[in-house]
Amino acid sequence: MTSVFHVADANQLLAGLPASERDAFMAACEIVELTFGEVVAHPTKTINHVYFPIDSFISLIAIIDTDNQLEVAMAGREGMLGISLVLGIEEAQLLAVVQGAGAALRLNATIFQQLLLDSPVLHQRLKRYIYVVMSQLATSAACNHFHQIEARLARWLLMTQDRAGTDQLHLTHEFLAMMLGVRRSGITLAAISLQTRGLISYHRGEITVLDRLGLNEASCGCYGEDCALYARVLPIL
C-alpha cells in the first residue's frame, strides 16, 4: 500500500503544512478505500473518525424524514469530513454518504483532536475551512429556494466533476432527484435541456460532461461564488 507520507499533498487542507505538523499528522493516518454508497457518518451519532479524501468524495445530506432528504454540501480533496470536532463537537449533524469511490486518509477522532493542539497551522486552516462550509451551506439554502432546477443541476454537475476528476459521472435520475430535493420528472426535463444544448450526454445512468464552459454558463452564479470563496479564504499553497 502507498505510504501516507506520499499522498499528503493530494488533499488541499493538508498540502504544504510545516514538516513537523505534517509528519506527526500523517504518521497517525491510514489510507482507506471508500466505496460508493458507503455511510461514513450518521446524524446525532458520535464521530469516530475524520476523513480527508484523496480522490474520493462524500455527500453531506440533511434528513427531514424518510421520504425527504437533501444534499447540502460535498467534501472532496478540497475538504474533510468531521469538521465539527475542531469546535469540540463530537456529534455528526448530517448523514455522510460516499458519492465518489476512492481513497481517503482516515484518522481516529480522539487522536485528531489531540494533534490539533500541536498543529497551529492546520488548526487555523481548518477554522477557515469551517467558514467556507458555513458560507456554502447558506448559499445552498438560497440556491435551492430561488434558482431553477436546470441551473441547480448544472451547478451540481460542476461540483461533482471537480471532485471526481473525470468527465464521466455515474448518476441516475433517481439519485439526482434525491440530491437536489426535487421530483424525478424535474431532473429529467433539466437533463434533457442540458443535453439538447450539447452540454452533457446522458445514457443509462451515465452522464458525460461535453462542454464544461457551457455548463458553467448554464449554472447559477452560486458555483462561481463558491469557487471564488474557497480560493480567497483557502488559497492553494
Query: What is the band of 2 on the pLDDT scale with cuts at 50, 70, 90?
Result: very low
Q: What is the distance of C-alpha 161 from the center of its chain?
A: 11
pTM of the model: 0.92
Residue 47: per-residue pLDDT: 98
Hey, where are the domains in the chain?
4-119, 148-219
Look up residue 98 and give its amino acid.
V
Say whether pLDDT at 82 is over 90.
yes
Mean residue pLDDT across the chain: 92
Residue 1: per-residue pLDDT: 42
Question: Which strands sit side by side in the sheet containing 30-34, from one edge to the other?
Answer: 30-34, 102-108, 49-53
Residue 6: per-residue pLDDT: 62
**Residue 182: CB partners within 8 Å, gap ≥ 6?**
149
Q: Do 148-219 and 4-119 have the same topology in CATH?
A: no
Fold exhibited by the domain 4-119: Jelly Rolls (2.60.120)
**Residue 24: CB partners within 8 Å, gap ≥ 6?**
115, 118, 119
Residue 107: per-residue pLDDT: 97
CATH assignment of 148-219?
1.10.10.10
Residue 3: per-residue pLDDT: 54
Query: What is the band of 222 on the pLDDT scale with cuts at 50, 70, 90?
Result: very high
Say whether pLDDT at 66 is over 90.
no
DSSP string, 91-106: B--SEEEEEE-EEEEE
